[in-house]
Structure 1
């Protein structure tokens, strides 16, 4: 089961990177056929939303109750004001998608697979969960789904954050604007959820508006 799930993650990441959905069309058609009449009443055929890149991001929820293991098992990430974006770097270009799946920007970047110089193979691609701040022309990286062709959907949060931090440091120029990297890519830090840490964060001046 784990092996099959791992293969599903790999295939899903590859489809996102290559925009190749062959083989899943029939499944979607069968699923859509079940409620086609209902959809026909609500959706204009010429105005259907793109589906492939929609709902790929983990959305936030209000923390109504404080978990008993908050200090031990949770971390806090301070996020800038901006719009969530699914960033896919593949085959020599970088694309940014909204939560609804619309492609709103295409540009070169220094992400693995994100420009023609570093995209040496179809297997080199990266998929990131970002927050785009227009004022600073910066994509703040909230999480990583795939890096250089290695999907890490099913990895623990602390490992993903460690992986992301170390990989960003390896990519020289990723956090600077240039001709080949017109938007900055900056990783967001995570902090412990202890009382002292939270108090310190509340008094911290961040380099972005929160």
Structure 2
């Protein structure tokens, strides 16, 4: 009888869009429960930034004593699923124009988590952690306030431009933002990064290009929330996702140029899309989608070009998204 009943039932909808909507509802319920539980249970429960200094100093010794337990910072970053570019429902999610945010161009580089764990005279000491294992990549002094956590991308040429791209804000000055909606997080990220004091640039000359000992130029990755405007997608977001974006890096006085500015082109890795109402969650997430520049397999068309073609078809048909 059970088999007969299941045979007559319609098939389950396992499309990315349906799974995404279910996950968003689950996240909303979870967020409401956390608010109701005296606001003392969050994604970072047990991660004491005050004790991180001891973790950094003791480092591998403490891991050896404990049998190399996994780092508390492992897999803390939120990962996007590749956007489904084929199948039922078309290329774009049903609520794409009203509910999504584009982050582009996503720069090429190393994804990492920045943890500002100890205050000093002008800011904090930061531990840069790898996205997967949570291993320490380097420590650096920054103007970030202590007790701050950022999701970042270390520019692939950081030693010559000093750039670290800020993708998302998880915590700022002891305040947790993971339960805030993505639309607020990106706005707040830009506000707080703009308030930071500028780092002292290195010297350079015509015979000696600039060299940065550690990344110190914080650059928020641009975001766009008006996706109902098809011209914004076609004329701005997609072109910069193809070509990358230029960043002006200040340099100390030198004979290299009159304005003492290094113009750097940050190469693009594609576009990230976030559900505007979504919270930040560690690990793979259905509430973020990735459209890469480079094909997944040799001989395939770039997902970005498939996406661009679909947007062009929408424009030619004179329909809204």
> TM-score by structure 2 length?
0.49
Give runs of aligned pairs for residues 7-26 of structure 1, distance below 5 A.
Answer: 7-9=40-42, 12=45, 15-16=48-49, 18-19=51-52
Matched, 1:56 2:76: yes
Q: How does 1:92-171 map to 2 (within 5 A)?
A: 92=119, 93-99=125-131, 100-113=133-146, 125-135=147-157, 136-171=161-196
Evaluate the alpha carbon distance shift between residue 17 and residue 59 of structure 1 in structure 2; reply closer, same or farther with a 3 A threshold. farther
Quote the residue 1:26 is aligned against.
Answer: none
Structure 2 residue runs without a partner (length 5+) = 1-32, 55-64, 85-90, 120-124, 203-211, 247-265, 269-321
Paired position in structure 2 for 1:173: 198
CA RMSD of aligned residues (A): 2.9
Map 1:27-106; keep pairs closer than 5 Å: 48=68, 50-64=70-84, 65-78=91-104, 79-92=106-119, 93-99=125-131, 100-106=133-139
Three-state SS of the structure 2 residue aligned to 1:108 is strand
| Alignment of 1:209 onto 2:235 | no
1:48 deviates by: 4.2
State which structure, 1 or 2, has the greater radius of gyration over its C-alpha atoms: 2
Shift in Å, 1:184: 1.4
User: Taking structure 1 as reference, are residues 129 and 201 closer, same or farther at Cα in structure 2, changes over 3 Å only?
Assistant: same
CA distance in 1, matches of 2:37, 2:66: 37
Aligned residues: 175
Higher-strand-fraction structure: 2
- CA shift at 1:138, angstroms? 1.6
| Alignment TM-score, normalising by the size of structure 1 | 0.72
